[in-house]
Amino acid sequence: MNLTVSGFAVRSLTLASALMLSTAAFAAPDAQKIADAFVAAAQARGEAKVTFDAAKADGDNVTLSNVKMVSKHGGDVTIPAVVIESPLERTSGGFTAASISFDAGKVVDDQTTITWDKGLFKDAIVPAPTEINSKAKITPFSNMEISAINVASAEAPAPITVDSVNVTLGDIIEGAPNDGQLRITGVNVPGEVLKSDEQTKDWVEQLGYDKLNFDVGIDGAYDNSKQTFTFRSISLDGKDVGKLVITGTFGGLPREKLQDPEKLSELAATATVDNAKIRFDNAGIVGRIIEMQAKAMGATSDQFVEQISGALPLLLSVVGNQGFQDRIATAATAFLKDPKSLTITAAPGNPVPIMQIFGAASTAPQTLPDVLAVDIQANQ
């Protein structure tokens, strides 16, 4: 009898525990508590007042309706609905969320109105105000994307549009990201905007551009063991213009100084240039510039290129470094005659301290190409 009761009790306790755990796991989040934490974080620095109409739990999600952020410095934000997916309270305050969406938002100030279609943070962390004010190291999201952005200015005749802005953060060490990418795609500047500035109107018309469309990208990572930062790519890619890409590695960058604004100035004493590259791939602008300049001189494009190429040795004499002058002249002549690509590299055998570069620039600038082992190549 005792064994039977005891077994029944164990089974009942197990079932009850399972039910309690199941209920806790699937319980709807406290919408008001999550909303309060969201508002507290947004207002932590005292620079904005945040309000919303209602907070509602729907399954695992919390939705804040008609969110408004009124900034002390202008740029008021309105978002019809902020949807917080699967929020979980943090022991230190605030919460984490699988994602936070902020679609159909708008930012308005005296001169500019910015709107967007879709907005999303993935793997979001909303910290407590104490963490924000103590400058705790927290990575707020793994990915952010905003799409269909429209920027309208009272001073511009037409809006500038952007297809999307995407930010990815990774390789989190001690709360801080060590790897990141920024992608801005489909920036469209209408011809009306380009021609609205009298200083640029003439050359825009002469170059034959009725609009500009370009992408921007930044891709980089920090190596804690080497105290180096590598720009894998900083790019600007314009349709019918060309693509500019900058890469490079810079050393002597201790993490504790990089993360402390008050110590950033100290980096000059330790920072180095390990290597760098600048590459431009022409997609049309060089030919347009040559044609524009040739027309202004009353010459053909070929005649203009020949004149400029012939004048390069004299024009470059101010450099004061014959070997480097010759390399520039050779590459520039080849590029002007067949404008495909131009690449400038700095590949010193050993990292060069920034202070050494500054010193050479001020006392013997002609030595800089040798100090940094600079080379220039065309169409490679």
Number of domains in the chain: 2
Q: pLDDT value at position 15?
A: 38
The answer to whether 50 and 42 have CB atoms below 8 angstroms apart is: yes
**Nearest CA among 377, 301, 375, 309 for reference residue 341:** 377
Q: What is the rounded distance in angstroms from the CA atom of residue 380 to the CA atom of residue 377?
A: 6
The reply to whether 177 falls in a domain is yes
pLDDT in tens, 178-188: 999 999 999 99
Segment 335-370, tens digit of pLDDT: 999 999 999 999 999 999 999 999 999 999 999 999
Residue 75, pLDDT score: 87
- Write down which residue in 153, 170, 196 finishes a domain: 153
Q: Which long-range contacts (CB under 8 A, 24 or more apart) does 48-57 make?
A: 48/72, 52/82, 55/31, 56/31, 57/28, 57/29, 57/30, 57/31
Q: Does 19 score more than 80 pLDDT?
A: no
Residue 190 and residue 158 in contact, taking contact as beta carbons nearer than 8 Å: yes
- 4: pLDDT strictly greater than 90: no
> Alpha-carbon torsion 159, 164, 170, 174, what sign?
positive
Strands 61-71 and 143-153: unpaired
Q: What is the pLDDT of residue 23?
A: 36
Least confident span in 6-20, 235-249, 264-278: 6-20
Compute φ and ψ for 269, nearest 5 degrees: -75, -20
Burial group, residue 111, by CB count within 10 angstroms (0-12, 13-18, 19+): exposed
Q: Is residue 2 part of a domain?
A: no
Last residue of a domain, one of 153, 168, 192: 153
* pTM exceeds 0.85 for this model: yes
Q: Is 22 a residue whose pLDDT tops 70?
A: no
pLDDT at site 24: 39
What are 193-220's pLDDT values in tens digits? 999 988 888 889 999 999 999 999 999 9
Burial of 128: CB neighbours in 10 Å, binned 0-12, 13-18, 19+: buried
How buried is residue 47: exposed, middle or buried, by Cβ count under 10 Å (0-12/13-18/19+)? exposed
Q: What is the pLDDT of residue 190?
A: 96
| Residue 12 in this model has a pLDDT that exceeds 90 | no
Domain that holds residue 64: 27-153
**Are 260 and 378 part of one and the same domain?**
yes
| In-domain check, residue 3 | no
